[in-house]
Amino acid sequence: MKTFSGIYPILVTTFAEDGSLDLDSQLRLVDYLLAQGAHGLGLFGNASEGYTLTDAERLRLMEAIRQRVDGRVPLIASSGHTGTDSAVELSRKMQDAGADGLMVLPPYFLKTDGEGLMFYFDAISRAVNIPIMVQDAPLMTQVAMPPALLARMSREIEHVKYAKVEAPPTAPKTSAVAKAAPELVLFGGLNCQFLIEEYQRGARGQMPGSDLTAPLVRIWDHLTAGRTEEAWDLFTAILPLLRFELQPGMGVSAMKHNLKAAGVIACERVRHPTSALDVASAAELAVLRDRIARVA
């Protein structure tokens, strides 16, 4: 089985002005990301507003995207849920619809303990035969997963092969998980804010948003070729935009504004409760976008 690695942007979900799915824009975005060198694609994550989608919409999008990609890169679909049975059902549906891997949040409404997390991920693993990426994202879930627990999952749960480390400070957590579970393949998230440090500590992939794929792929290529200074130079150039998008509640809308400005998607519409940029923030973003276009 091929190991996932590299830059796997999380697709924003594109909506029309009335809030319905805009499949034409969605497929243009897929084409755009593949042309920019994405090594794989992430679907239905936080940056996708997956929390606003119905199961029917997920399946409709999954089918359309799978057909468009046609096996050129792997697809990792988010399938975590607040209940174990629901997560099992959704994971099975995503696999049957063509996902190559699953990114799974722990239950985050009613919290459970370590044994409960083992039960949850094992139940999903028993229902599928594709790799599972455990999403360690306590800023979102308020669920802590220490390195020892992730190591136990990798040893005892058949399809747990990956972990997405989003527990700040992410670089030390990456080191700790790599030491405790050397068999796990580690990815970073949180919009790549510590991409270089995480790579140097053992991460083998990143899952950013959809609007900076080309420079992030170039940074990744620099890192894998040992060109660390070049990687830092380019990272520093795009850092103001990464910083802007990391403001709580603003990232998804900012990414959509950038993709609309690039002519990729037709509308920057987000779904409630996702926040839309106010007029002043949109103007500030436009200034950053123009500055970065000149240097990156």
- CATH number of residue 133's parent domain: 3.20.20.70
Backbone dihedral angles phi then psi of residue 55, each to the nearest 5 degrees: -60, -40
Say how far apart CA 60 and CA 53 lie, in whole Å. 11
At 108, which amino acid appears? Y
Yes or no: say if 8 and 45 are a contact pair by the CB < 8 Å rule.
Answer: no
- Reported as a single tens digit per residue, the pLDDT across 54-103 is 999 999 999 999 999 999 999 999 999 999 999 999 999 999 999 999 99
- Reported as a single tens digit per residue, the pLDDT across 190-204 is 999 999 999 999 999
Q: Which residues are catalytic?
A: 164
Is 252 within the bounds of a domain? no
DSSP-based three-state secondary structure for 21: strand
Residues in the chain with pLDDT < 70?
A: 1
Is 69 within the bounds of a domain? yes
Beta-carbon contacts of residue 242 (< 8 Å; ≥ 6 apart): 191, 192, 193, 212
Is 35 within the bounds of a domain? yes
Q: How many domains does the chain have?
A: 1
Is 163 within the bounds of a domain? yes
Query: Beta-carbon neighbour count of residue 67 at 10 Å?
Result: 11
Tokens linked to 211: 């609007």
The domain of 152 spans 6-226
Predicted structure pTM score:
0.96
